[in-house]
Amino acid sequence: MAISNSVNLDLSLAFPTAGVAFAIEARFRNGGEASTFRVNVSDASNGRAVPLRVEASPQLADWARGYSRWLARARVRASLDESGIAGTFATDLTPEQVLQGVSDACDMIRQRFEPYEASILA
């Protein structure tokens, strides 16, 4: 009998002082099913989506470019467009490794946005 492992996470990280909130979704299945990672950003005050463009927030746009590359350390191959960052987990991961990757990904967001003392939205 084959063992099937999965991870299904929906996380929200809000940084009201910076004016932004992050919705993080991780779906992991072993056995060849698609395993996905996604980050979307919204305005912390009203929940509206914030596009990852310089016009919306230079700080956010700059962060997104680097973060989408940095996610390789969390074993996620990611790309970004103005609606968010999307990627797939490496296929050889255990559920515990996926959880560690998501934890690292959240920590990287927290390190960047927790210190802001004013809204970064344009």
Burial class (CB in 10 A: 0-12, 13-18, 19+), 50: buried
Residue with tokens 């991870």: 7
44 near 67, Cβ under 8 Å? no
The larger pLDDT score, comparing residue 18 to residue 30, is at 18
Mean pLDDT of 20-45: 90
Please state the pTM of the whole predicted model: 0.92
Radius of gyration of the chain (CA): 15
Residue 36, both tokens: 């996905």
User: What band does 30 get if pLDDT is binned at 50, 70 and 90?
Assistant: confident
- What CA–CA distances, in Å, run from 3 to 26, 27, 80, 94, 101? 20, 17, 33, 12, 22
- Burial per residue of 98-116, b for 16 or more beta-carbon CB atoms within 10 angstroms, e otherwise: beebbeebbebbeebbeee
